[in-house]
A and B are shown apart, each in its own frame.
Chain A
Amino acid sequence: MKVAIASFAHTHAASYAYLLAQMPDVEVLSADPDGAAAPDAGPRGAELAKKFGIPYVDSYDELFAWGPDAVVVTSENAGHRALVERAAAVGAHVLCEKPLATEVADGQAMLDACAAAGSILMIAYPVRFAPSYLRLRALVEAGRLGDIYAVVGTNNGKIPYAARQWFTDAALAGGGALVDHTVHCADLIDGLTGGASAARVYAAANHVLHQDKDVQVETGGLVTITYDNGLLATIDCSWSVPDNGPTWGGVSLRVTGTNGSVEIEPFLPHVGGTDPEGEVFLAFGGNLDESLLATFLNAVRASGAPVPGKEPAVVPQPDGAVGLRTLQIVDAARRSAVSGQPVDL
């Protein structure tokens, strides 16, 4: 199978490149034509591909002309649409980094393009594959929590500033913490509810954290969502883990139903302690990207080449529709944060 990696803008490209390079039945090719112009200190483009140990071409034209069976899109958020549309146009299946896009109209166009081409569009929400989440979902599906009426999610992390500055560029990222971190929890809730739609979204955001870095986008945010089934959820999406914290951050999801609550923290299992730099946090929860990629590639294998107008034989979750629903929440949160009033969808 031929798998292309389009752009190294997103830090997760490293993880996918590493995993794909190890797969004996996968041929990898990469391109990162915009890397040279990026303001980041680390290597990009051919130099980074060499570090990953994967083949590289200089342009997207060459990458798509290679005839990939599948394309992993790891560009800046604002670049997702163009690359996904190109992938669909050459008859490839697509795994797209989250969030789906920066604007809802772009996201809808991507879903339409993939549907027309018969391509899989899967969204890279790896927390879906966390063992604790799978256990929670099994309990929910068996009715053990009763009727679920409230959720609190947190996805706090360090500001992704040092490695890739575009995360704090409103035009390229679509915003700050609201865009970067709301979607993971929104996706987990989507998976528990079978795709409930948000009816009303309220968001408060601020810029108190990381002012020393001259960041223009919001760095703190709280998003309250009322779903069409009545479910209430609030998500803390802040970049509130200090730069010197022992780990990048984490995710929590507290789900309350008529029979009680379950709270998961998929990135909590760790060996703790201290070293000369301070606190030690050795996570051992497993590599969720590995499960995500396996799910995508298995679906690609099972579906075969896309047939225009025909739905793929296997539609791996989370799919483009989840990506669009979670993007709609982000878009409403952005607008609410500006107006100070809830936004009805």
Chain B
Amino acid sequence: MAEQLTDLTVGLIGAGNISHVHVAAWKALGARVLVHSAEGAESLAEQYGLEVAPTLDGLLAEVEFVDVVTPSPTHKDLALAAIAVGKGVICEKPLTLTAADSHEVMTAAAAAGVKVYPAHVVRFFPEYKAAYDAVQAGRIGPVAVARFYRQGSSPAGVEWYRDVRHSGGVIMDLMVHDLDQAQWMCGPVTTVYAVQSPPNVDGISPVCVAAHVTLTHESGAISFCRATWGVPGAPFRTGFHVAGASGVLKYAAGTDTGFVDELRDDAVGGDVLIPAAARGESPYLTQLREIAIALRGGPEPRVAGADGAAAVYLAEAARASMESGKTIDMKSFTSSGAVA
């Protein structure tokens, strides 16, 4: 498997938070990494031993494909730039901020014969994959009612997340993972109903905010996604409950972890050197390996470009539902192209 990735040169675009886990994965795969970023490229390169590409064109000229980990509003133009020179694209979620933009990217990619993959990393978390495989194998029969949730410390107090034109809001930024999960496990969506509390005002998201989205699926299944930007410092938690005609699958991160400590708060000792193997394989590594092999002509990964576009389409429909107070019919919903 790893042999298929020898002599790999990856172009990392962006140097923010998520870039660190991507870099760790690329280094684990033995890849040479060039980084280009509006800011932070030098320090990232120094920290991990990467090469800085001062210009986007310079980076594109030298790499096999790009890994886009920039803020969401820039995804579209960066993906189009790579596609224009025939380079494959791995793009952090959301693929773009509107379905119209995703459609433009996917159309350009198809015309150029270039592959684009969204980094819907939740598909690579082993607990979600185990549930997906069990559903596919018919272990719980046809899915009837599924619930997914995702919550954490709000990022909206700082940086660009609070501006819906930049982040897309809590649904586009956070729930997009579970919209993808709902579609992965329950199949294509027919209708979307969404409510957010408190609502966005003039394109600005509240810092603490919850969104509830209910989907109906062609299969007859119904599903519910909850995303919460919680009080700063709140632990990040995810989970699901999938009920089928003949069984149930459920999971809540943070429970049954197999590791519980009752150590004194003031326990002292030397530095703890946790070996990498103690964390298990990072789902980001699993994801980037599988997609990189596909970009080299290997088997298709468990996520397609169209899945990224579909998740954006659902998130945009959710926003339309919030604005109108109505259920959105996905058969007739078209992207307005507006980001907020």
Whether B251 contacts A138 by the Cβ 8 Å rule is no
Which residue of A has the minimal Cβ distance to B247? A275
The answer to the question of A264 belonging to the interface, with a C-beta cut-off of 8 Å to chain B, is: yes
Please judge, given known A-B contacts A268-B257, A272-B249, whether A261 and B278 are in contact too, CB under 8 Å.
Answer: no
Does B256 have its Cβ within 8 Å of any Cβ on chain A? yes
Q: Is B264 an interface residue (CB 8 A)?
A: yes
User: B21 in the interface, Cβ–Cβ < 8 Å?
Assistant: no
Instruction: Please judge, given known A-B contacts A259-B263, A265-B258, whether A271 and B127 are in contact too, CB under 8 Å.
Output: yes
What residues of chain A lie closer than 8 Å to B260, measured between beta carbons?
262-264
Interface residues on A, range: 35 or more
**Which residue of chain B is the closest to A22 with respect to CB atoms?**
B1
Determine how close the nearest CB of chain B comes to the CB of A234; give it in whole angstroms. 18
Which of A129, A134, A282 has the most C-beta atoms of chain B within 10 angstroms of its own C-beta? A282
CB-based nearest B residue for A276: B246
Cβ of B296 to closest chain A Cβ, rounded Å = 16
For residue B126, CB closer than 8 A to chain A, the reply is yes
Most buried by B among A135, A266, A267: A135
Q: Is the CB of A142 within 8 A of B256?
A: no
Chain B residues with Cβ below 8 Å from A275 are: 139-140, 246-247
Distance of A24 Cα from B262 Cα, bound (Å): 44
Report if B111 contacts A (CB, 8 A): no
Q: How far is the CA of A55 from the CA of B250 in the complex (A)?
A: 41
Q: Is B270 an interface residue (CB 8 A)?
A: yes
The answer to whether B259 touches A261, judged by C-beta atoms less than 8 angstroms apart, is no
**What's the minimum C-beta distance from A107 to chain B, rounded to whole angstroms?**
28
Q: Is there an interface contact between B126 and A142, defined as CB atoms closer than 8 Å?
A: no
Instruction: Say whether, besides A142-B271, A274-B247, A286 and B281 are in contact (CB < 8 Å).
Output: yes
Q: Bin chain B's interface residue count.
A: 35 or more
Closest chain A residue to B244, Cβ basis: A275
A212 to B134, CA, bound (A): 33
CA distance A33 to B99 in the complex (A): 63
Interface residues as binary, A236-272 with B (CB distance below 8 Å gives 1, 0 otherwise) = 0000000000000000000000011111111111111
Decide: A282 near B134, CB < 8 A? Known: A262-B260, A266-B258, A275-B246: yes
B279: interface (CB < 8 Å): yes
The answer, yes or no, to whether A195 is at the interface (CB within 8 Å) is: no
Query: Taking the nearest CB of chain A, how far is it from the CB of B271, in angstroms?
Result: 6
Is A309 an interface residue when CB atoms closer than 8 A count as contact? Answer: no
Q: How far is the CA of A274 from the CA of B242 in the complex (A)?
A: 11
On chain B, the residues within 8 Å of A264 by CB distance are 258-260
Pairwise interchain contact A260-B261, C-beta atoms closer than 8 A? yes
Specify which chain B residues have a CB less than 8 angstroms from the CB of A263 in the assembled complex.
Answer: 259-262
Given A24-B3, A273-B140, A284-B126, A262-B247 contact (CB < 8 Å): no
Contact of A134 among B139, B264, B277 (CB under 8 A): B277
Complex Cα–Cα for A272 and B240 (A): 11
Residue of A nearest to B242 (CB): A273
Query: Is residue A303 contacting chain B, with contact meaning CB distance below 8 A?
Result: no
Contact residues in B for A272 (Cβ distance below 8 Å) = 249-251, 256
Minimum-distance CB pairs A-B, first 9 = A143-B269, A134-B278, A275-B247, A260-B263, A284-B126, A268-B258, A259-B267, A273-B248, A273-B249
Known: A273-B242, A286-B281. 19 other contacts (CB 8 A): A132-B257, A134-B278, A136-B259, A138-B273, A139-B261, A139-B263, A142-B269, A142-B270, A143-B270, A145-B263, A259-B267, A259-B268, A262-B259, A270-B127, A271-B251, A273-B140, A280-B248, A284-B127, A291-B277
Q: List 11 A-B contacts (CB under 8 A).
A: A129-B277, A132-B278, A263-B259, A264-B259, A269-B127, A271-B127, A273-B249, A274-B248, A284-B129, A286-B126, A291-B277
Binding site for A on B (CB under 8 A): 3, 126-127, 129-131, 134, 139-140, 242, 246-251, 256-264, 267-275, 277-281
A binding-site residues for B, Cβ under 8 Å: 24, 129-132, 134-136, 138-139, 141-146, 259-276, 280, 282-286, 291
